[in-house]
Amino acid sequence: MFSRGRRRLLEVWRRIFDLSWPVMAEQFLRTLMRTTDVAVTGLFSPAAVAAVGLADLYARLPLRIGLGLGSGVIALSSQDTGSGATANRDEAISQAVILGALAGIPFVLFGFLLGQWAIRILGAEAEVARMGGIYLAIIFATSPARHVAIIAARSIQGAGDTRTPMYVNGVSNALNIVGTVVLGLGLGPAPELHIVGVGIATAFGNVLSALALVAAIHSSWTPAGFVRPSQLTITKQLLAISAPRIAEGAVTFLLEFPFNAILLFFGTEVNAAYQIGRRVYQQLTSPLSRGYRTGTSIVVGQSLGDGDPAGARYNGWAAAALGVVTVGSLGVVLFVGAERFVSLFTDDPETLSYAAGFAKAYAAAAPVTVLYVVLAGALTSGSDTMTPFIARVTGMSFGMVGISYVAGVHLGYGVPAIYASIVVYYVWATIYVAVGFYRGGWIERTQSMMDERGSTTAED
């Protein structure tokens, strides 16, 4: 009995890893791209690091919209692939790509018209606002392409193909990294464009990924495809699943403002240290966490589509265990080597000290963070994005921002209170999604939505 249980667990782990490793490789390069941005700007000044970090606050909003629509499409794509309803799957993919492109247009205007003002209202110094505004305008110019790239990748992954997005985004991110170094530092015959060069490299990567992934869906290269949109039911379901995830991104985006204001209250060096500490953590652990989330979404969604809710539930818990074992181990490595890792990004003593503290805080939270990420992915593929929304918003509001202000500023415990707030945030969010996954309301919700759009049995 024990042997059969172990074999089943290992088989699930193997399947999840087979689906996840291409996403991990892709995300490693994507995270390395952002890490390279921080490293290159760190050669300029702490103000340049803060400028990119503050601009990235705004850049997370279109990112969240893309991820929100991507969550909706990977849920429908995986479910309909599992049930064999490929016509409905391609309808959802086509609608999501169009919605994503349209949703990116307002950000283009915002970046050009209000970029510097947006950085300045955060309390940034004049030079930080100037550099951050320029960088923001450049990357916002390609927001429609960024949306399309994310949604197209999730569409293909939901259909069971995680390698094509890896190939496309791997090449794009590698070129982005090279462009950041060459244009930022002015290597060879290239001009030394500093922060402008970093922004141009990011913009180029966004456009390249979008064009290549759309071409892959349009061709016979992937199991996914495009059709002329016609079903309003699928539109409603796509938006119903995506809306809480988009709202989650919007609310957490807004909460980043008071949190970064608290960081800036303690000085530009503390803000820069947070960006560095967080970046080190993301570089080490995020590729695995995001890979497991995608792999979990695929296997849970396809199990639900295939009419196996018990298997979907088991797969979710098994994936969570795999994440805790692997990412938790990396958290230990980061905690022990925090000072050495952050020293790769700055040699400013004050910034270095605080950055090590932030890296250790994220390392301590690593096991629960991956548990939250994986179970949130399982819930998303089960058409439940409201539970992760509540978990993250309440955790960030009361755990991260609340503790940072009350204990750090009001009670005078300073930056160590901010370290503690990061751990509290993720512990609470994890407890909430774990309870939601255990209760299982997402299973009935998925079945109801599949019945409504006619995906319970194959239509092709």
Q: What is the pLDDT of residues 281-305, one digit of tens each?
A: 988 898 899 999 999 999 999 999 9
Provide the 3-class DSSP secondary structure of residue 118: helix
The answer to whether residue 460 sits within a structural domain is no
Q: What is residue 122's predicted lDDT score, i.e. its pLDDT?
A: 76
Overall average pLDDT of the 225-229 stretch: 90
144-153, 183-192, 366-375, 421-430, range with the lowest pLDDT = 183-192
Kindly tell me the burial class for residue 131, based on how many C-beta atoms sit within 10 Å of its own C-beta (0-12, 13-18, 19 or more): buried
The answer to whether residue 224 sits within a structural domain is yes
Kindly give, in sequence order, each residue whose CB lies less than 8 Å from that of residue 110, ignoring residues fewer than 6 positions away.
118, 140
Dist. CA 76–CA 229, nearest whole Å: 15
Mean pLDDT of the chain: 90
**pLDDT digits 0-9 by tens, 394-421:** 999 999 999 999 999 989 899 999 999 9
The answer to whether residue 268 sits within a structural domain is yes
How many domains does the structure of the chain reveal? 1
**Whole-prediction pTM:** 0.84
Q: Is the pLDDT of residue 374 over 80?
A: yes
Residue 192: domain span: 2-453
Dist. CA 346–CA 419, nearest whole Å: 20
**pLDDT digits 0-9 by tens, 138-166:** 999 999 999 999 999 999 999 989 999 99
Token pair for 37? 């941005």
The answer to whether residue 62 sits within a structural domain is yes
Q: Is the pLDDT of residue 260 over 80?
A: yes
Dist. CA 154–CA 401, nearest whole Å: 31
Q: What is residue 172's predicted lDDT score, i.e. its pLDDT?
A: 92
Token pair for 34? 């952002």
Overall average pLDDT of the 46-56 stretch: 80
Q: What is residue 195's predicted lDDT score, i.e. its pLDDT?
A: 84
Q: What is residue 52's predicted lDDT score, i.e. its pLDDT?
A: 82
More confident residue, 345 or 97: 97
The answer to whether residue 55 sits within a structural domain is yes
The answer to whether residue 375 sits within a structural domain is yes
- Residues 380, 381, 384: CA angle, nearest 5 degrees: 40
The answer to whether residue 459 sits within a structural domain is no
What is the torsional sign of CA 100, 102, 105, 107? negative
Report DSSP letters for 202-236, one per residue: HHHHHHHHHHHHHHHHHSSSSS--------HHHHH
If pLDDT is split at 50, 70 and 90, which confidence band does 370 have? very high
Overall average pLDDT of the 339-351 stretch: 85
Q: For a pLDDT cut of 70, what percent of the chain falls above it?
A: 99
The answer to whether residue 126 sits within a structural domain is yes
